[in-house]
């Protein structure tokens, strides 16, 4: 029976690396996969250019890009009807809409293809992303990937920083960036940085 998985973590925990390793494992066994990532994250280049999924350690792969309007279920079914898929892998899953998360559940439940979603649990304020909230609620399997705070404890929070490295407490929930904009911290150091 196919399942819906949610692998979640803070920044720098290796979510994309783990996704790409899983993809490699399927391909090594002659199985076909379909990769997805959020169109909003265009750090690897505009649509159709560069590698859609790229890890900090240099692994990369092409992927379909979803927006809030993308019917992931319909697109997966169309591909699966022509050439059967063994797995669907979704990077930046925090940006899925609630409806798209349910589509991923339908891919597992009705189409019979495992769906592995990877993403952030919370934003820079410590609040759940909507896609992550639904995944935490309905995924068959939840797996927390670990990152490390500068103090050596588990980093579970994502601190947004400005160009001078100062903590940012206000702003839009989504602002794309890497190590230049976010620091993974334990809850204690996250709270201290925000003056809580």
What is the spatial distance between Cα 87 and Cα 189, in angstroms, rounded to a whole number? 38
Residue of 92, 99, 127, 164 marked active site: 92
What number of other Cβ atoms are within 10 A of residue 88's Cβ? 27
b/e code 157-176 from CB counts within 10 Å (16+ = b): bbbbbeeeeebbeeeeeeee
Enumerate long-range contacts of 77-86, CB under 8 Å, 24 or more apart: 77/111, 79/34, 80/111, 80/113, 83/32, 84/32, 85/32, 85/33, 85/34, 85/113, 86/26, 86/31, 86/32, 86/33, 86/113, 86/114
Q: State both tokens at 54.
A: 């790229």
Task: Establish whether 92 is a catalytic residue.
Answer: yes
For residue 145, the SS3 value is coil
- Residue positions annotated with a catalytic role: 92
């Amino acid at each position: 029976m196919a399942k819906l998985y949610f692998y979640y973590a803070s920044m720098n925990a290796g979510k994309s690396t783990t996704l790409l390793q899983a993809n490699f494992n399927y391909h090594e066994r002659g199985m076909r996969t379909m990769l997805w990532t959020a169109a909003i994250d265009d750090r690897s280049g505009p649509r159709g250019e560069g590698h859609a999924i790229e890890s900090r350690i240099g692994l990369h792969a092409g992927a379909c890009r979803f927006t809030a309007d993308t019917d992931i279920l319909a697109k997966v079914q169309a591909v699966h009807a022509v050439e059967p898929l063994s797995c669907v892998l979704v990077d930046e899953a925090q940006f899925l809409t609630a409806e798209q998360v349910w589509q991923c559940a339908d891919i597992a439940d009705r189409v019979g293809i495992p769906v592995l979603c990877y993403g952030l649990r919370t934003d820079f304020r410590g609040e759940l992303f909507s896609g992550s909230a639904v995944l935490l609620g309905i995924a068959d399997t939840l797996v927390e990937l670990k990152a490390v705070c500068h103090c050596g404890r588990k980093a579970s929070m994502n601190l947004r920083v400005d160009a001078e490295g100062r903590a940012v407490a206000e702003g839009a929930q989504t602002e794309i960036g890497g190590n230049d904009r976010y620091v993974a911290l334990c809850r204690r150091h996250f709270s201290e940085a925000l003056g809580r």
